[in-house]
Structure 1
Amino acid sequence: MCSVGDSFDIDMEGKLPFKQYACKECGNKFKGIGKNVKCPSCQSGNVEESK
């Protein structure tokens, strides 16, 4: 039998190389990580890194 405990929070801010992105389709601005970043709002892959 398997049991699951309470959820837990992990503070990853400052530990992973998050980058700022802007979606060219819907204009959403968000943080992302990885090579194939997609907009969390519209799921478009047409995003650019913003500075």
Structure 2
Amino acid sequence: MPGMEPVRVEMIVAATIFVSFVLRYCNISRLHHSEFALKEGVISELVGI
């Protein structure tokens, strides 16, 4: 994948399988995607955006 570090390319399949497992195990049906860092996501949740 152009522009992506080789180690990340190697991990993407395993990470996808892991995330899929966690979502099913925890019965999570939707995710909220943020284009910002985790701290901005937490702030967004705290202020109710």
The structure whose Rg is larger is: 1
Where on the TM-score scale, by shorter chain, does this alignment land: which range?
Answer: under 0.3
- Length-normalised TM-score, structure 2: 0.27
- Length-normalised TM-score, structure 1: 0.27
Instruction: Judging by fraction of residues, say which structure has more helix.
Output: 2
